[in-house]
Amino acid sequence: MELDNLQKALDILERSSEFASLIPEVRSNLVMSKKSPQGVEDVAGVPGRITVINRMPKTCAKPEYGVSSHMARLILSVMKYDPEKRSAINMKFHPVLIEICQKLGLITSYYDRKDEPPEIRDKEGGTIPWGVQTAVERVDRVPDAIYHTGGLGKEPSLVLIGKDPVEVVKTAICIAKLCKQYSKHY
């Protein structure tokens, strides 16, 4: 089920030239977890991530389980607070995107890497769970979008979170289209 849902969402995403402009340097990934995951091997994602080819989002392989440790750890951390939120996509961060999310009625929250305790920062894989916990505590629920503005050697990022990948992708494309319209005025 997760693989089919991811493929359906990726088929939609690959037709959105607008989303291509929101793919970060580290590339995007779209993930979906099984209902009762035991670990990252129970989270499906895109091998090789989502990139840009000819100004369009493009995947190089079909979704598989256990291929995205970063986004898998994020969604597993989210599911500790809300097991229904099983899908996420990462994209570029820009303050305009946060403004658009808020205008769409999405709950946004963030974490600041400068506030990350050294014992978390120095532990491999520690930042994501800490960041999710910080963002959740800030708004007292799982937000629809979590962002951070980067840090030394870390690209700023915005992650959209939802129940299924089609919902997440449709929201991401909506944001991308509004961002394109917004940028025409500046």
Domain boundaries, the chain: 2-184
10 Å Cβ neighbour count for 55?
9
Q: What is the pLDDT of residues 60-117, one digit of tens each?
A: 999 999 999 999 999 999 999 999 999 999 999 999 999 999 999 999 999 998 898 8
Query: Tell me, what's the pLDDT at 186?
Result: 38
pTM (2 decimals)?
0.94
The fold adopted by the segment(s) 2-184 is: L-fuculose-1-phosphate Aldolase (3.40.225)
Residue of 137 and 119 predicted with greater confidence: 137
Query: Tell me, what's the pLDDT at 163?
Result: 98
Query: Tell me, what's the pLDDT at 121?
Result: 81
CA distances from residue 112 to 18, 135, 166, 172, 182 in whole angstroms, order as listed: 28, 9, 29, 23, 26
Spatial distance between the Cα atoms of 125 and 121, rounded to a whole number of angstroms: 8
